[in-house]
Amino acid sequence: MKAEVVVIGSGISGLTAAASLTKRNRQVVIVERNQKPGGALKHFVRKGIPFDVGFHYSGCLGSGGILRVLWEYLGVWSHLRVHPFPSEGNDSLILRNSEKSVQAFFSYERLEDELQQAFPNEAEGIATYLKALRDICASIPFYNLDLSLTPFLRAPLSSAKIGLAPFLTSLTKDPDLQAVLASPAFLYGVPPRQAGLAVHAMVAHAFISGAYAIDGGGQAIVDAFLATLAEAGVDILTGQEVESVLVKENQVAGVKTSEGEIYASHVIYTGHPTSLLDLVPDGIFRKAFYNRIRNLINTDSMFVVFGAVDDPGSLDDLTWVNHYAIPSGLDILDVNLKYPEESALLMTAPGRRYSDSALSDAQRGIILMRPASWDEVAPFSVDSGKARPASYKRWKAQSADRLLDQAKKLWGYSRIEPLAIGSPLTFRDKLGVPGGAVYGVQHCLNQYNPGARTRLSGLWLSGQGTLMTGIVGASLSGLVTAGEIEGLEPLWDEVRQCR
C-alpha cells in the first residue's frame, strides 16, 4: 500500500493532522492499533447510560475561538452541535480544609466578582492574576489570531520560565485563594508547584473565556471527523499496530504494521513520545534526544467511577456545574497515598448535556474522579491483555466505595450504583500510555517537550505530548504538524480566514 502521509494514531491530533493535510490534497492513511478510532475520546454505554472518557468540556468553541475556527476550516463544525455553558454554569469548588465554597464562572467578569466576594481582602491579587492570564494569551497566536504562528513556535514566551507557584504566592498568602487560582491545573494535569505560568494561562484563559459541551460528547467529535475524512477518501486502518518506521537513506520510507507495509514519504506519530523510540531503528536519533524523550515526566493518572444515580433530580445543578472538592494550598493535585479519597475529587455528568438526554437514561449518568498514582496499582501490575488478579478487583471495588462515600459526604445524593471503574491500570491499557498518565507527558517547568520536527527527514511528531494537552492542545498540535509539512504560515492564513 502507498500513501503520501501515514498518520500513526486516530486520536484528535491524528484526525486533525489528517484532515488538515487532505485540505491540501495530500493522500493520507491513518493507522490505529485499537479496533475503534478516536484515541482518548472513548465512549461507552452501560445500562443505557452513555459515558465519555476523555472529553467532558472545552474552551475555544465560541465565535472566533481557535477550536471553532479550526473545525470550520476542516469542515467538521457543521456536523457538530455545540452547547455553551449557560451563564450560571461553573466549576463549583469546595475547599476541603476550610469548607469554603467558590463558584469559578466561565466569564472573566463574573469570576472576578465571585472571587472578590469570597476573598474581599484580596482584590489586588485577584485582578493581577486575571490580567496576567489575559496578557499572556494576547501574545499567543491561538488566542490572538492576528499574530503569526512561527515566532511563537520557534521561541519560548517570556513568561515560560515563571513558575505558577511563586507567582501565586506573590499574589496571596491565603491558601484557599491559592488553591482556587491554581485549580485549572486539573485540566492539564501538572501539580502547581511544577507548573509554569504560561501553560497555566493558556488553559485557564480558554475556560474562563467560555466553556462548551458537545452534543454526543467525544464520540460526536470523532464521528464528525470520520464523516469529513470519508468524503476526502482517507483510509483509516483500525486494529493495526505500527511496529516500526521504515527508513531508507536517512529518509522515512513508510511504516511496517502488524498487517504489512505502507510506503510513504511522511510519517506523523501521535502516540506517547517515549514509545516512538522503539519504532525507529537504532542510531537515528542523537543520544541526547533519545535520553530526553526516554526521561520525559508524565502526568499522574486518575481513579474514575462511572455510575448511575437513582434520582437525577436530587443533583439538579449537575448538568452545567462541575463539582470539585480540593485541598487548600498548592498541593491540589497531589495524591494522598494513605487516604487517596481525601485528595481532590471531581463529580460531573457530561451526558446530561446531550440535547436528547432529558428523556433518556443519560440523566442518571454520573462520573466521579480523583487523581491517582501508579504506586496505587503497582502491586497488582500485570501485562496488558492478561487477567487481573482477584486482589486488584477487590482493591478497585473498595476504592470505588470509599470514593462514593466521600462524594456522598461532600455533595449528598440518594445512591450511586458503580457501573464501570477506571484505574491507572485501565488507563495504561486502554490509552496505551505509561503509568496510565491521563494527560500524557507533563507540560511543566524545566521540561522541554518535543516539537513536531525530528532529525529524521519525513518523520514528524504530534499529539498532546508535543504542543499542549486537552482537546484544544492536541487539535492544535495536529494543525501545527500538518503546517510543518505544508508551510506553517500559508496553512495558518487559510485557517484564520474562517474566523
Ligand X SMILES: Cc1cc2nc3c(=O)[nH]c(=O)nc-3n(C[C@H](O)[C@H](O)[C@H](O)COP(=O)(O)OP(=O)(O)OC[C@H]3O[C@@H](n4cnc5c(N)ncnc54)[C@H](O)[C@@H]3O)c2cc1C
- Binding mask 295-314 toward ligand X (x if CB under 6 A, else -) reads -------x------------
- Binding mask 420-459 toward ligand X (x if CB under 6 A, else -) reads -----------xx-----xx--------------------
Cβ-count burial of 316 within 10 angstroms (0-12 exposed, 13-18 middle, 19+ buried)? Answer: exposed
Where do runs of H (alpha helix) occur along 159-216?
A: 164-171, 175-182, 197-208
Identified binder of ligand X from the candidate list 20, 22, 58, 423, rule CB under 6 A: 58
What number of CA atoms fall less than 13 Å from residue 467's CA on the CB side? 30
Closer to ligand X at the Cβ: 172 or 399? 399
Distance between CA 396 and CA 423 in Å, rounded?
8
Residue 257 Cβ vs ligand X, minimum distance, rounded to whole Å: 7
Q: Does 246 contact ligand X by CB under 6 A?
A: no
Cβ-count burial of 48 within 10 angstroms (0-12 exposed, 13-18 middle, 19+ buried)? Answer: exposed
Closer to ligand X at the Cβ: 34 or 328? 34
Q: Does 357 contact ligand X by CB under 6 A?
A: no
Q: Does 242 contact ligand X by CB under 6 A?
A: yes
Among the residue ranges 51-59, 88-96, 147-155, 370-378, the one whose residues contact ligand X (CB under 6 A) = 51-59
Q: Does 10 contact ligand X by CB under 6 A?
A: yes
Closer to ligand X at the Cβ: 313 or 385? 385
Q: Does 13 contact ligand X by CB under 6 A?
A: yes
Closest of 238, 335, 256 to residue 34, by C-alpha: 238
Residue 19 Cβ vs ligand X, minimum distance, rounded to whole Å: 13
Identified binder of ligand X from the candidate list 18, 22, 23, 39, rule CB under 6 A: 39
Closest of 78, 82, 35, 28 to residue 55, by C-alpha: 82
Distance between CA 204 and CA 202 in Å, rounded?
6
Closer to ligand X at the Cβ: 178 or 257? 257
What is the three-class DSSP state of 459? strand
Closer to ligand X at the Cβ: 41 or 349? 41
Phi, psi of 72 (to 5 degrees): -65, -45
Identified binder of ligand X from the candidate list 262, 471, 482, 495, rule CB under 6 A: 471
DSSP for residue 271: S
Distance between CA 196 and CA 162 in Å, rounded?
6
65 grid coordinates: 475561538
Distance between CA 179 and CA 172 in Å, rounded?
11
What is the three-class DSSP state of 488? helix
Question: How, if at all, do strands 345-348 and 321-326 pair?
Answer: antiparallel
Identified binder of ligand X from the candidate list 19, 22, 28, 57, rule CB under 6 A: 57
Distance between CA 210 and CA 352 in Å, rounded?
19
* Bridge partners (DSSP) listed for residue 196: 163
Closest of 274, 279, 265 to residue 29, by C-alpha: 265
Among the residue ranges 128-136, 159-167, 267-275, 324-332, the one whose residues contact ligand X (CB under 6 A) = 267-275
Identified binder of ligand X from the candidate list 14, 312, 327, 435, rule CB under 6 A: 14
Residue 141 gets the label, from left (phi > 0), alpha (psi -120 to 50) or beta, of alpha
Closer to ligand X at the Cβ: 202 or 485? 202
Residue 471 Cβ vs ligand X, minimum distance, rounded to whole Å: 3
Residue 373 Cβ vs ligand X, minimum distance, rounded to whole Å: 15
Q: CA geometry: angle at 156 spanning 57 and 467, to 5°?
A: 35
Residue 406 Cβ vs ligand X, minimum distance, rounded to whole Å: 18
Among the residue ranges 73-81, 268-276, 450-458, 489-497, the one whose residues contact ligand X (CB under 6 A) = 268-276
Site for ligand X in 113-172 (CB under 6 A): none
Distance between CA 416 and CA 312 in Å, rounded?
10
Identified binder of ligand X from the candidate list 56, 96, 205, 396, rule CB under 6 A: 56
Q: Does 31 contact ligand X by CB under 6 A?
A: yes
Q: Does 34 contact ligand X by CB under 6 A?
A: yes
**Residues forming the site for ligand X (CB under 6 A):** 8-14, 31-34, 39-41, 53-58, 241-242, 270-271, 275, 302, 431-432, 438-439, 463-464, 469-472, 474
